[in-house]
């Protein structure tokens, strides 16, 4: 799906530069954004949107901003492929199991985050064991499945577990972050709202409550349960 | 699983004996009612979230039960040191 979006974006004239880290955010005398410094040189821009997931705090520090975020490793696993057996997604917050089957036949399993802040892109084995124990308990049919691979990605978590999508105190700098352990399925919608926010220099009514300011003003978004994601 | 040195017990013990306590050395406001909204925001929600040398609290829940502080590299997860609560930032 990600490659489908990338191909279509390129066809529309978007430049995608991979494996090129942002090393700085340049600001003018008035404080407004002038562009981004990268490993491959400077890119001038009047408006910059940051979608840096687990590394959002690191990138925002480059603009002198401190964020209400903490980054944790989140692990996932896939099994060997088998014939269709599991036509749904099952999730249990109580015992912490998350499992579905991909079209390729692999069981796709989501584990939890480690308890400590980390950018290591690996998680602890006992986190995986906890999730697999829960799945085997609920579905004994899966106890003999073999796992093919596992990996850890870094997720940025906000204090109220809802994303931050909107403007920042720096003129011309916009942010889409804090999706935590969820967000992958929301990416197309979030991208649309980020584009709207950048184009209009104000948020769409859908992302209007998801401001950075809500942590200062006490307007936290209390929908951790509605998000249907284990936090 | 990481091994953590408890400065009270003097032992390296597995992570499952401990509970992470978040960023260390965040001072609780002495005058809560005199705090501005930005000051509350900073105390409650803003975190360094460092990529690199991170000061953090741990509690040896299944051991001595005490809180202590640690310095850990958040890229390698290796501990530089742990030290008792109340000692100055290292």
How high is the pLDDT of residue A183? 72
The answer to whether B1 contacts A124, with C-beta atoms less than 8 Å apart, is yes
Percent of chain B predicted with pLDDT > 90: 99
Q: What is the DSSP letter of A136?
A: H
Q: What is the mean pLDDT of chain B?
A: 97
In this prediction, residue A227 has a pLDDT band, given cuts at 50, 70 and 90, of: low
In degrees, rounded to 5, the angle at the alpha carbon of residue A150 between the alpha carbons of residues A148 and A155 is: 155
Residue A226 has pLDDT above 80, yes or no: no
Q: Which residue has the higher pLDDT, A227 or B47?
A: B47
DSSP B48: -
Q: What is the pLDDT of residue A54?
A: 96
Would you call A58 an interface residue with chain B, using a CB distance cutoff of 8 Å? Answer: yes
pLDDT at position A225 over 80 = no
What mean pLDDT, rounded, does chain A reach? 93
Is residue B84 scored above 80 in pLDDT?
Answer: yes
C-alpha angle B29/B57/A63, rounded to 5°? 70
Left (φ > 0), alpha (ψ -120 to 50) or beta: where does A89 sit?
Answer: beta
Are A66 and B48 inside 8 Å of each other by CB? yes
Mean pLDDT calculated for residue range A10-39: 97
Contact A116 B38 (CB under 8 A): no
Rounded to an integer, what distance in angstroms lies between the CA atom of residue B79 and that of residue B7? 13
Name the residue among A115, A159, A217 with its Cβ closest to that of B37: A217
Please give the pLDDT value at position A99: 95
User: What's the confidence (pLDDT) of residue A1?
Assistant: 79
Is the model's pLDDT at A223 over the cut of 80?
no
- pLDDT at residue B15, rounded to an integer: 95
Gap between the Cα atoms of A74 and A54, Å rounded? 10
Question: Residues of A with CB below 8 A from B15's CB?
Answer: 124, 126
Chain A nearest C-alpha distance from B20 (Å): 6
Structure confidence at residue A182 as a pLDDT band (50, 70, 90): confident
pLDDT at A207: 96
Mean pLDDT confidence for B19-23:
98
Which pLDDT belongs to residue B32?
94
Given a cut of 80, whether residue A135 has pLDDT beyond it is yes
Is the pLDDT at A231 greater than 70? The verdict is no
State whether residue A116 sits within 8 Å of chain B by CB: yes
User: Does the pLDDT at position A111 exceed 90?
Assistant: yes
A134-138, A222-226, B17-21: the lowest-pLDDT one: A222-226
Three-state SS sequence of A138-197: HCHHHCCCCEEEEEEEEEEECCCCCCEEEECCCCCEEEEECECCCCCCCHHHHHHHHHHH
């Amino acid at each position: 799906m990600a490659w489908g979006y990338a191909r279509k974006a390129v066809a529309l004239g978007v430049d995608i530069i991979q494996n090129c880290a942002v090393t700085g955010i340049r600001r003018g005398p008035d404080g407004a954004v002038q562009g981004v410094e990268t490993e491959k040189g400077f890119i001038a821009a009047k408006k910059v949107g940051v979608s840096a997931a687990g590394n959002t705090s690191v990138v925002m520090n480059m603009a002198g901003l401190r964020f209400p975020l903490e980054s944790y490793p989140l692990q996932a696993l896939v099994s060997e492929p088998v014939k269709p057996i599991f036509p749904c997604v099952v999730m249990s917050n109580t015992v912490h199991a998350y499992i579905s089957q991909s079209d390729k036949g692999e069981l796709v399993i989501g584990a939890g985050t480690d308890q400590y802040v980390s950018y290591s892109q690996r998680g602890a084995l006992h986190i995986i064991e906890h999730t697999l124990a829960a799945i085997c308990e609920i579905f004994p049919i899966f106890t003999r499945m073999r796992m093919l691979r596992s990996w850890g990605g870094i997720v940025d978590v906000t204090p109220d577990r809802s994303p931050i999508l909107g403007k920042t105190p720096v003129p011309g700098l916009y942010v889409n972050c804090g999706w935590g352990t969820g967000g992958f399925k929301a990416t197309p919608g979030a991208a649309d709202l980020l584009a709207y926010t950048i184009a209009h220099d104000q948020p769409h009514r859908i992302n209007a409550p998801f401001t950075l300011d809500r942590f200062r003003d006490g307007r936290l978004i209390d929908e951790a349960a509605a998000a249907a994601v284990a936090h | 699983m990481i091994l953590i040195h408890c400065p009270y017990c003097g032992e390296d013990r597995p992570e499952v004996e401990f509970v992470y306590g978040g960023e260390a050395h965040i001072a609780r406001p002495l005058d809560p009612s005199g705090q501005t909204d930005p000051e509350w925001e900073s105390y409650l929600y803003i975190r360094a979230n460092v990529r690199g040398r991170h000061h953090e609290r741990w509690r040896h829940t299944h051991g001595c039960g005490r809180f202590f502080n640690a310095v850990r590299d958040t890229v390698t997860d290796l501990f530089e040191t742990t030290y008792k609560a109340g000692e100055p930032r290292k």
